[in-house]
Amino acid sequence: MRKLVLVLTSTVLLAACKTPEEVVTKVPTVVEEPPVNLANVMGNWARVASPTIEADRYMSADGLTFSGSGGGLVFYAVDRNTNRAVQKIFYPGFDDWQPRFYERDLPREAPMRFDLFRASFNTPANRSVAMVGGGYYKQPNGERFFLKTFYIENIDGYTWEPPYPGADVPASSFGVSPYGYILENKANGKLWRFDTNAIRWEAVSNAPVAKDARFVAFDAGERAFVIAESSNWNDPLGSLYEFMPTKNEWQPRKPFPGDNRRRGLAFVHNNRLYYGAGQSAPGQKPLRDLWSYDPATDNWQKVADYPGAGTISLVGVSIGGSVYIGFGQQALTNANKGETITDVNDFWRLRP
């Protein structure tokens, strides 16, 4: 049987850096599967099935990754104690998580690679590929071990050389043919370009922000954009930049008009950029607004409010005419002036 592999325009969102004074409490997720009611439609939203997860697993914002596998989307549930993951597959054509065609081919449990990069682009030979790798493993004590290996999907399944040469920090990624790009998430972070023809990495530019930030990256056709989210509540950013690959330069675009925020949702659908949800910066207020950006007109427009339980570190994936959004976390201010964070398990379909 021939496997169908979907190349997804998704963004893997990075966990925001927490300042030393923050106190975070992890609250176990309710692991029972909620009832599915596809008639529960609010505007263009419909709730779809959630995966059933064993009691010793949890769904954390930085433990979520989607990719194509046999026509399905892979969700990683991460063990609270070992940071090892099991995979659950959602099939859009069936609106469910039942075991089907290729789940038997997937490893049953493996160390979770958090915040891996994924950049889709066409090679000089006009072959559609995706560069996947990087990220880090979390040790049981919470320390990060950064990884430099990566591979190229649709060319071969082997690790490529030379390894990614960037700093040991989380990274954002995008593709602009014929290159894959990795951006270090830090002040003046380097932008690295990988050339599949010359098989080499090059540092081609630096981030246009001189303050620590989390860069939310998008690729819309042959154009790439980043939004700078502040890593400090007292230093809001929210600026939008377009990367100009012919000049290896950055061009400011119309800033995001909504509240400045952290840990927002970001994805691309029909070559438009979508961004929203998260928490206000400062204030830590939960946000549910969702906006779209049209690169052709350089304009933003509010399109919807997310109806799900979570607000921070949601995951969104575009497939065909629909976008699937969900999971993430609830974050509420607690008595210690920190956050109480609860993982959530609902999953929604949006038809913009």
pLDDT in tens, 47-63: 998 887 765 566 654 55
At residue 217 the predicted structure's pLDDT band, cuts being 50, 70 and 90, is very high
Residue 19 confidence class, pLDDT cut points 50, 70, 90 = very low
- Specify the pLDDT at position 56: 57
**CA geometry: angle 93, 96, 99, nearest 5 deg:** 100
Class level of CATH domain 9-350: mainly beta
Distance CA 200, CA 177 (A): 15
Rounded CA-CA distance 203/188 in Å is 12
- pLDDT score recorded for residue 31: 34
CA 231 to CA 186: how far, in whole Å? Answer: 9
- Delimit the domains of the chain by residue range: 9-350
Provide the pLDDT for residue 210.
87
Q: Model pTM?
A: 0.82
37 pLDDT above the threshold of 90: no
Residue, of 33 and 219, whose pLDDT is higher? 219
- Predicted pLDDT of residue 30: 37
For residue 62, which phi and psi values (nearest 5 degrees)?
Answer: -90, 20
Q: Read off the pLDDT band of 108 (50, 70, 90).
A: low
Question: How confident is the model at residue 106, as a pLDDT?
Answer: 53
Q: With contact defined as beta carbons under 8 Å apart, do 114 and 137 qualify?
A: yes
d(CA 70, CA 100): 9
Phi-psi map region of 127: left, alpha, beta (phi>0 left; psi -120 to 50 alpha): beta
Other residues' Cβ atoms within 10 Å of the Cβ of residue 281: 25
Residue with tokens 């109480």: 340
Rounded Cα distance between 34 and 53, Å, is: 12
**CA–CA dist 87, 233 (Å, integer):** 34
Q: What is the mean pLDDT of residues 129-140?
A: 89
For residues 59 and 328, give the distance between their C-alpha atoms in angstroms, rounded to a whole number: 8
